[in-house]
Amino acid sequence: MKKNFLSKTISIFLVAVITAALFAGCGSETSKNSSSAPQKITYVSMTDAVGLSPILTNDSASSAVIRTVYETLFMRDPKTGEIKPLLAEGYENPDPNTWIIKLKKNIKFQDGTPFNSEAVKYTFEKILDPKTASPRASLLKSVDKIETPDEYTVVLHTKTPYGIMLTALAHDNLSIVSPKADKAGDINKNAKGAGTGPYIFEEWVPGDHITVVKNKDYWGGAPKIDSITFKVVPEMATAVSMVETGEADMLVGIPPEHLERLKNNADVEVTQLQGNSVTYLGFNFEKKPFDNLKVRQAIEHAINRDEYISTLNGLGIRSNGIIGPKLIGYNSEIESHGYKYDVEKAKALLAEAGYPSGFKATLTYGNTDTYNKIAPFIQAQLKKINIDVTLNPMDWAAYLSYAKSGKAEMYLGGWSNVTGDGEELLYPQFFSGNIGASNYARYNNPEADALILKTRETIDQNQRVEYLRQANIKFTDDVLWVPLYHGVVTMAVRKNLKGIELESNGEFRFNKAYKE
Amino acid sequence: MAESISALKNGEVEIEYKKSSQIKEIWRRLKRNRTAVVGLFIISFIAIIALLAPVISPYNPYEQNLNQRLLGIGARGHILGTDEYGRDLLSRLIYGARLSLIVGFCSVAFGLVFGVLLGLLSGYYKRLDGIIMRIIDILLAFPGVLLALAIVSILGTGIVNVIIAVGIWSIPTIARVVRGTVLYIKEMDYVTAAKALGESDFMILFREILPNCISSIVVYSTMRLATAILSAATLSFLGLGAQPPVAEWGAMASTGRNFIFQAPHLTLLPGFAIILIVYGFNSLGDGLRDALDPNLKNV
């Protein structure tokens, strides 16, 4: 009898629990649909951010987060590419070496610190301080002195004319940080309150996700989205199916094999536009035999780029030059330069260089989908000319520091050009002063340095573009990189998420995003 | 004196006679077990394919041809289709068999050398038993493939390191199995007799005890081969084992995943191959256990 009673009680209890759970489930379901429900965005990314401080990072995954938390003085219009003021009010350029920048008033950092000329000075001086070892110090290298005549005026004095100052100031890595937050803690790990942007950093679970929440007091008007989660999903197939099922709201950089599927999904909007990124095979010029032009020419001759591009379903464009078609400085005559696929010629060049029977080399790359696919292809192509390639895939952050420190022999990389100007590729990648930072090639050539400086310092735009054209031809002929393909940027967004515009550098902003 | 020598000789003769009849008896019992025969058949089939790989595979498994990529099963010239680089899938599967068997046997052999030694010492010497078994306990505390994973992360990726990692991971269980058998055997009369005759510990361990552990070692190793191959494939699947372009089933299944909607066979066929070989070794091991069990004479 007693036993019976007990089992009865338990079953009643169970029924009660299940019913409660069901109701709870319904509850959350209905609240999701009502307009007052919090609007959340889940963005999926293959790689985790390296850090959260604009001063200390230089990679797309970090940038995506940094753009929501911090802001730059100027910004590029996503449609026209024109430079417009953001935190700045305007600028004056009394002489080629002086930039007077007026700042917007009444803007506060998320931690309450007022945004003023001191904050700008603090940020830029920190970037320029060699002790900081900022990976993008190159953006401000021409700046000699920073003055703050009043609270809302910053004067940048340059050593030599810096023709592309405004595009540099629109670069994410020159976002202004709150001096108070930066002094108080490591904003590279915890960026709470450190920016002026529309979202406030909330938490970072390394390897899993980063969350930012709405900044109600945002000077440009509070965003409609309550929180954004940047979820790390290293597996592309998983990321794609998360967007398909609605578990995630968006991703950028759709791999070719998933493009059709996402396009055919009625709930997903795919944007595809020619980008300015380039995916390349790079060499470490400090390691033999890659300092030898003939070896590099042989390698370019040995790689059938058209064949690889044919596998990309339209997500890659062939251009022989290092400066691609979407960048300032491109000129179509570059297509008659570079080295065509010709295995016999490659073998001959290798023999001339003194390696008739080939050599052994390692190819280092970050183990993301894109490079994991390219690497075995390069390996097989170079095998034909007896270059025995060992693949060395590494975790993304590890790859960056490995390449930076000059340990790699050959490496695969991609360069998304944030400013859209060819200079923003040549200077960071090939200027000798950036060895140990962004010059992974460790390329050190005084003649090239002089040309690169001209592409930065010339104020006359036509003349500057002419220098870029010359540099493109010279560097392509010298095979500083083998440009494998030039990118097409893609973005897949759930149809109910609106207001996100993809830019040709693959970036976007969440400022105007909202859900229907 | 003369008498005892002749007695011993007679004994040896008898043992020899017994041995051959024993093997016959085991074979007879194994034959009756249908699953075991199927297992044996699968293993022999895969072994032959692996041995003859260069002769029978229709293409070079590493030759890329991007114009013929992602062909389906039954495509012209490629019976099982091609992968994302246009490499012939059948050829890659055949070469993968080679690698799987090599990895399986090498890692189990590695585990056996150390595992058997530790098991013998620990079972025979009471004083060593405590310390060895505690270390083994620690190793056993790591769940599943995690220990192998940890070892590979220390040693670095690559097939040789996978062999070592899976080998190390096999040590504790092998040691446990051997120790258990030794504990039982060392109480046997013939061991006591050997001791009484003044045989050295070394001789007792390796001439009296070890031969009598063989059946449990054989059974266990066969089963272990399945686990070893599976965990090696797992490690490669996770990108820690075979590095591209090596044709390894786990790695093939892993890279094929990106194409699972366009070309599911890239993932399914290597997966099926892994299932087949693991099933083969498991059912053979099962059959062997039944056949070698002296208590099941009438099966």
User: Would you list the domain boundaries of chain A?
Assistant: 43-47+186-273+489-515, 60-183, 277-487
On chain B, the residues whose CB falls within 8 A of the CB of A304 are 66
Instruction: Nearest by CB to B258, from A236, A377, A383: name it.
Output: A236
Contact: A380, B66; criterion CB under 8 Å: no
CATH topology of domain A43-47+186-273+489-515: D-Maltodextrin-Binding Protein; domain 2 (3.40.190)
Say how far apart CA A225 and CA A220 lie, in whole Å. 14
pLDDT digits (tens, 9 = 90+) for A126-176: 999 999 988 888 889 889 999 999 999 999 999 988 888 988 999 999 999
A interface test, pick of B60, B64, B70, B243 with most A CB neighbours within 10 Å: B64
How does residue A19 score in pLDDT terms, banded at 50, 70 and 90? low
Q: How far is B84 from chain A (nearest CA, A)?
A: 9
Instruction: Provide the β-strand partners of residue A221.
Output: none
Report whether pLDDT(B182) > 90: yes
Contact: A311, B84; criterion CB under 8 Å: yes
- Architecture (CATH level 2) of domain A277-487: Roll (3.10)
Q: What is the pLDDT of residue B6?
A: 46
Contact: B84, A373; criterion CB under 8 Å: yes
Contact: A261, B261; criterion CB under 8 Å: yes
Structure tokens at A509: 């902003």
Q: A244 CB near a chain B CB, below 8 Å?
A: no
Domain A60-183 in this protein, CATH class: alpha beta
- In sequence order, the 6+-apart residues with CB closer than 8 A to the CB of B106 are B163, B167
On chain A, the residues whose CB falls within 8 A of the CB of B259 are 257
Q: B19 CB near a chain A CB, below 8 Å?
A: no
Contact: B258, A376; criterion CB under 8 Å: no
Say how far apart CA A350 and CA A178 lie, in whole Å. 54
Q: What is the pLDDT of residue A343?
A: 95
Q: What is the pLDDT of residue A162?
A: 87
Q: A272 CB near a chain B CB, below 8 Å?
A: no
Q: How far is A181 from chain B (nearest CA, A)?
A: 37
Using a CB cutoff of 8 Å and minimum separation of 24, what contacts does B253-258 make? B255/A372, B255/B83, B255/B84, B256/B83, B256/B84, B257/A235, B257/A237, B258/A236, B258/A237, B258/A255, B258/A257, B258/A258, B258/A369, B258/A373, B258/B84
Amino acid identity, residue A197?
A: G
Mean pLDDT of all residues in A302-314 = 93
Instruction: Provide the β-strand partners of residue A204.
Output: A210
Q: B131 CB near a chain A CB, below 8 Å?
A: no
Domains of chain B listed by start with CATH number = 48-63+72-296 (1.10.3720.10)
pTM, full prediction: 0.77
pLDDT digits (tens, 9 = 90+) for B44-75: 999 999 999 999 999 999 988 888 888 888 88
Contact: B66, A372; criterion CB under 8 Å: no
On chain A, the residues whose CB falls within 8 A of the CB of B245 are 376, 379-380
Q: A388 CB near a chain B CB, below 8 Å?
A: no
Q: How far is A279 from chain B (nearest CA, A)?
A: 19
On chain A, the residues whose CB falls within 8 A of the CB of B257 are 235, 237
pLDDT digits (tens, 9 = 90+) for A347-402: 999 999 999 999 999 999 998 888 999 999 999 999 999 999 999 988 888 999 99
Contact: A311, B255; criterion CB under 8 Å: no
Please give the backbone phi and psi of residue A279, each rounded to the nearest 5 degrees, phi first: -110, 125
Contact pairs from chain A to chain B, CB under 8 Å: 50
Contact: A393, B243; criterion CB under 8 Å: yes
CB A363 within 8 A of CB A328: no
Q: B264 CB near a chain A CB, below 8 Å?
A: no
CA dist A240 → A252, A253, A492, B66 (Å) = 10, 10, 9, 24
Report whether pLDDT(B3) > 50: no
Q: What is the pLDDT of residue B16?
A: 55
Burial class (CB in 10 A: 0-12, 13-18, 19+), B249: buried
Q: What is the pLDDT of residue B98?
A: 93
Q: B245 CB near a chain A CB, below 8 Å?
A: yes
pLDDT digits (tens, 9 = 90+) for B192-203: 999 999 989 999
Say how far apart CA A173 and CA A181 lie, in whole Å. 17
How does residue A9 score in pLDDT terms, banded at 50, 70 and 90? low
Handedness of CA B18, B19, B22, B23 (dihedral sign): negative
Q: A109 CB near a chain B CB, below 8 Å?
A: no
Contact: A393, B239; criterion CB under 8 Å: yes
Say how far apart CA B11 and CA B193 lie, in whole Å. 14
Q: What is the pLDDT of residue A18?
A: 56
